[in-house]
Structure 1
């Protein structure tokens, strides 16, 4: 009598392993996001360019969930750029709600995700692209277009978060004036419409230098890392940016040396939520309200806010309403600014004195907060 047959080995997944690409700040050399490279599963490729089916939409949502879960093995908390077939822009709110629910359960907020839309984006009707991007944006997600896929006027109208500059343009930017001119023009279009330009296919240090001159501030490509790169590993350092020496106020430590992490909330946060943050941390001077692009749109000053909310009828009047009603315009300074120059910015307004400055990067995104008292104490000691 023979024993039981050995169990058959579990079938191996036929899907190729994930590829990871670092998205790098061209000024600092820091990795600011991770792009996941993976072909869509066969169940997500059905239908024509103007069609989507329920099984296809469900397959795409499950595929995105699997990408996020597999990337979680890297223990990286950086924002993710995920591939997304452009046909999903036709799927309506059903797809948006499904993918939001799945990704939140995987521990990812919509604002952590940018969907890089596929090449078939060029085949979709203009109205579909604009409305589809708006749906994703309203749910908190971000979208990216490739400049080889769509015309610049559609980029301006749809206002995606990211505009990927094609590698064919980037590859000649350091040696071909024509390429540099086009890249600079695309960068200006992006800055003028609130869209962040990202160079893809960066190959050399000369490319990095030239791209910075063209106004591009983030990039990805073989210069930074090999195809086997994984989140958390080092990337190739970027060339040091040249700093002008003709202004005395540029001397001394940078404002980032005094920066602390911001306490940030979405722009639609209620007054009650902001009040909980301020009462829960007695050392907190302010709360920063940020939009879907991580840009500061308001600052809630502790003293003035508490006077409004804790006064007679204050809680009843304001608690359930948006906190931005009680916010003030943020006073921002760029990350490259010196501490001395930042101090002069804080005192430039004759109507009020700022307690906190908001430090922003080239794209106006909030990096941190600097307390004016810290600047004064440090500079007085030096």
Structure 2
């Protein structure tokens, strides 16, 4: 009599890092030849638990070093309270629990949430990683999603038609410390949309279909740098994480050599303790060079590989690419090509980052940024500011958008010359940069016009440092005008609406006498005059009269 396992096969689909184009993990998918074993597993937690074990063993037989994703129904975890047979299977195969991510699959309706959360806590304590699957096409309550606090959130590709929802989920994931994965990506347009919405990982037919033999090379379409969602303070290290080759700290050198010679794409091995914390880092070239010397194999083959390792370089999962470069810069030059281990809050390894990936991405971002800088002040133009405005709006964050210019600037140019005018513009731009001290974004949008994006509480120091300063050209006083619109969450829909709210305030500020500042609030009538006297504003520069800029 044949068992249902006789007709059960498994396929493997890669999870792709959209930043690096590398395969970050493999998801194992059941493919029964007859019947609907998945429907039965949904009703039978014991059967679903056995499927997870079989899926893991099928992946282990492929001898892939990649992290694995296994599907398990939410009801299974709530009913079984954990997956002891899976943990035993993982240990028995010589793998570690933190190399396995459990994709918790809907439905969640009628699943006891307390029991589910307790089971997830137990699995996480054992070292397993947790992913919330089917978001956007399932029934997971938002409150439960935050309580689960998964390391990954898998979104259905249908949500890409609603980019605001994806961006909102990205914001939530940033708060949870989770990565965003988009499932079911089939077209290059969807891939570009996933990147634009801030997803870091994806899987689907576009990259590689499920296959009986795990694939390493996947197709990732070339994307323009503008398609990549701009990070808040430099690219996050999460966007560059590659799977780590890990072995126990006690592993002999011969085992490390076998791993490296059998996997030419592995640049190094991390030796970890029983909790998965990196203790030693073995660099591929240095290790193989030591083993290949005249007596190297005889000296080291049976000894612990840690003797040929170095202290690992580590960064937290919340680090930025710039912080990784700081870590690489410390120490000898011979270690600049070493992988940097990325660790979670418990110090456990979640992967590695390679210097080449970081340098390439940072160079691209710098080239793009430099192309948008104003050649006079070296400040970004309006694109950088309005892009940040739209991000703040999508994230539901309040902000203050300010416009500043030099009063009667044409008269300055006509009376003192364009060189003096350029020098004044540079001085004002430099003063703005120093005043905000990284607490705001400053843009030079052309001529003598500047934009400043900041939190409302940063406005007073800005005004004191710039607007209240004494400005002069050729011994003649010069004044500045400032207009600010404060936008509360929901008060504007995009940067166009914010600019429309700012326009009448700018006109009101220019109508005042002397240095002026007008502040209004989006959606509310009227404005507040914080600096400046009643108009009309005279030509205070003392230069020859000229037509007003308006």
TM-score bin, normalised by smaller chain: 0.5 to 0.7
The 8 Å contact of residues 32 and 79 in structure 1, kept in 2 or not, is answered as: yes
| CA separation of 1:209 and 1:113: change in aligned 2, threshold 3 A | same
Instruction: Measure how far apart 1:224 and its partner are.
Output: 1.0
Distance 2:37 2:54 in 1: 11
Q: How does 1:197-346 map to 2 (within 5 A)?
A: 197-228=180-211, 230-232=213-215, 234-240=217-223, 242=225, 261=268, 263=270, 265=272, 268=275, 274=279, 281-282=306-307, 284-287=309-312, 296=316, 334=321
**Residue number among 122, 133, 140 corresponding to 2:127 in the alignment:** 140
1:50 maps to what in 2? none
**Residue number among 48, 51, 54 corresponding to 1:66 in the alignment:** 54
Distance 1:134 1:187 in 2: 23
Distance 1:202 1:136 in 2: 29
**Residue number among 352, 355, 358 corresponding to 1:367 in the alignment:** 352
Instruction: Measure how far apart 1:12 and its partner are.
Output: 8.7
**Residue number among 68, 87, 91 corresponding to 2:75 in the alignment:** 87
The 8 Å contact of residues 28 and 56 in structure 2, kept in 1 or not, is answered as: no
1:17 equivalent to 2:9? Answer yes
| Structure index of larger Rg | 2
Q: How does 1:112-127 map to 2 (within 5 A)?
A: 112-127=99-114
Distance 1:211 1:69 in 2: 32
SS across alignment from 1:230: coil
Instruction: Measure how far apart 1:182 and its partner are.
Output: 0.7
SS across alignment from 2:147: helix
| CA separation of 1:264 and 1:108: change in aligned 2, threshold 3 A | closer
Question: Which stretches in structure 2 are left out of the alignment for 5+ residues?
Answer: 31-35, 229-239, 243-265, 283-303, 356-550
Question: Which stretches in structure 1 are left out of the alignment for 5+ residues?
Answer: 1-8, 48-55, 173-178, 245-253, 290-294, 298-329, 348-352, 371-382
2:536 maps to what in 1? none
Distance 1:368 1:210 in 2: 25
Instruction: Measure how far apart 1:60 and its partner are.
Output: 3.6
Deviations 1:84-107, CA, capped at 9 Å, x for gaps: 1222222455x4333211232234
Deviations 1:121-168, CA, capped at 9 Å, x for gaps: 243233223222111111111222131331333222211122110232
Distance 2:97 2:166 in 1: 29
Distance 1:220 1:275 in 2: 32
SS across alignment from 1:235: coil
**Residue number among 151, 162, 184 corresponding to 2:167 in the alignment:** 184
1:31 equivalent to 2:23? Answer yes
More strand as a share of residues? 2
The two structures have a TM-score, normalised by structure 2, of 0.44
The 8 Å contact of residues 197 and 216 in structure 1, kept in 2 or not, is answered as: yes
1:155 maps to what in 2? 145
Quote the RMSD (CA, aligned, Å): 4.1
Distance 2:121 2:3 in 1: 41
Distance 2:10 2:276 in 1: 36
SS across alignment from 2:215: coil
Q: How does 1:38-53 map to 2 (within 5 A)?
A: 38=30, 40=37, 44-46=41-43
| CA separation of 1:185 and 1:333: change in aligned 2, threshold 3 A | closer
The 8 Å contact of residues 173 and 180 in structure 2, kept in 1 or not, is answered as: yes
SS across alignment from 1:367: strand
| CA separation of 1:91 and 1:217: change in aligned 2, threshold 3 A | same
Instruction: Measure how far apart 1:32 and its partner are.
Output: 1.0
The 8 Å contact of residues 264 and 287 in structure 1, kept in 2 or not, is answered as: no
1:98 equivalent to 2:98? Answer no
Distance 2:186 2:54 in 1: 30
Higher relative contact order (CA 8 A, sep 6+): 1
| CA separation of 1:344 and 1:105: change in aligned 2, threshold 3 A | closer
